[in-house]
Structure 1
């Protein structure tokens, strides 16, 4: 169930393009959309928290840095790096750099969370990175014209994306998944929303179309997705969770086909297969073999 919840979260993240596309066509900038996302999510989570999770909302002051880590160092920093990388490179390259995050998660998990490193995880990380690049249709020469700083910022997006799994895993040792989700977006909203108030597009939020997009963005790929991911992360290694979450570009590609009638190329199809195979690989149970004394035959995996 924990693995399914993480996969569900990644699928919800993959639907974000629908809401972002709608808001950007209305005239909102990338960072304004991020602000709308965290602001609406914080309001929704506050209402739900006061109604159903009051006991879980109590935190200790000494643990505030954990939520600064998930809210500012992950959500805000990751979005800034990602959108800056898109401006300096292009969407496919930025997306491929973003999905280096499992490599960061595995490295940080081994160093700080004492998780075990094995060949299967390394193989799965390689598969997800290559698969994400194929889904984004990256070629070997596509990144050659980009500056080192733009590539570095793109990798920063991958690091910021990964930090949610690291800080979140530590916070979940003490707090409920709902508390992690709520304080993450409350912290991000307190940082971003003040800069949004008073801008020309602020009043547009009360128009029916914009309001529906904003609520959908705050609910589907944010509140539902992050709560599901946090719930799964509580029970799964950070490194495995990060690899499973790479089904997001698969979901985004399928959304493009079903809603916007986009076509999947052969290269993208190969990338989807590679990502799914990597996710399956990291979650396969370890096989144990016995050798019979006389016939030296291997028994079936147990």
Structure 2
């Protein structure tokens, strides 16, 4: 179930392009979309929290840095880097750099969370990054045509994406998944709210904007982060990060079904590499369970 919830979260994240495209067409800038996403999610979470999770709304003041980590250092930083990378380069390269996050997670988990580093994790990370690159259609020749600063910003998106797993894992040792999701977006919204309040907004009177905003705040944000936090609570952050890279597969399905985009052979190979990596990282525990079940069946009752 934890792996299924993480995969479900990744699938919902893969649908984010639908809402972002709608808001972009309405005239919102990338940073306004980021702000709108965080603020809408915060209001939805406040409503849910007051109705169902009141006892999970208390935190210790000393733990506030954890939520600054998930809110500012991850959500805000990741989104800023990601959208900036898209503006300076293009979506395929920016997406490929974003999905270097498993490498950051495994390294940071090894250094700070003392999680074990083994050959299968390393192979799975390499396969995931290679698969995402193939799905995005990235080549060495294309990547080398961009300035180093743009590449570093793109890698910053991968780092910011990874930091949620690191700070979130520590926070989940103390708090309920809803608490982590709630304060992540409350703190992010507090920083980004002035962006929405400052100046005149031509799109503020358009009904479509509010529909897209609610959809963006609910599905690929509140529900996705809650599902991911729930799964992250019950598994290693390095495994969770690798499983979550099924997101580009979901994004590709969205492109085919809604925007009539076609799949190339290279993209098909990339999808296979991502799914193979996800399968590989799950094998150890599955095999261990099978062996344990066999031992239990063979043992005298």
Does the CA-based 8 Å contact 1:81-1:154 persist in structure 2? yes
User: For residues 282 and 130 of structure 2, what CA distance do their matches in structure 1 show?
Assistant: 19
Task: Give the structure 2 partner of residue 93 of structure 1.
Answer: 93
Shift of 1:199: 3.0
Gaps of 5+ in 1: 289-301
Confirm or deny that 1:63 pairs with 2:63. yes
Task: Give the structure 2 partner of residue 180 of structure 1.
Answer: 180
Task: Give the structure 2 partner of residue 299 of structure 1.
Answer: none
User: For residues 204 and 84 of structure 2, what CA distance do their matches in structure 1 show?
Assistant: 25
Tell me how large the CA RMSD over aligned residues is.
1.4
Shift of 1:206: 4.9
CA shift digits 1:203-246 (9 cap, x unpaired):
63453211110000000100000000000000010000000000
CA shift digits 1:59-83 (9 cap, x unpaired):
0000000000000000000111111
Does the CA-based 8 Å contact 1:85-1:153 persist in structure 2? yes
Task: Give the structure 1 partner of residue 53 of structure 2.
Answer: 53
- TM-score in terms of structure 2 length: 0.94
1:67-216 aligned at under 5 Å gives the runs: 67-201=67-201, 204-216=203-215
Does the CA-based 8 Å contact 1:56-1:178 persist in structure 2? yes
Task: Give the structure 2 partner of residue 293 of structure 1.
Answer: none
Task: Give the structure 1 partner of residue 3 of structure 2.
Answer: 3
Confirm or deny that 1:29 pairs with 2:54. no
Count of aligned pairs: 289
Decide whether aligned partners of structure 1 residues 5 and 205 sit closer, same or farther in structure 2, where only a CA change above 3 A counts: farther
Counterpart secondary structure, 1:175: coil
CA shift digits 1:153-189 (9 cap, x unpaired):
1111100000000000000000000000010000000
Does the CA-based 8 Å contact 1:11-1:247 persist in structure 2? yes
User: For residues 199 and 38 of structure 1, what CA distance do their matches in structure 2 show?
Assistant: 19
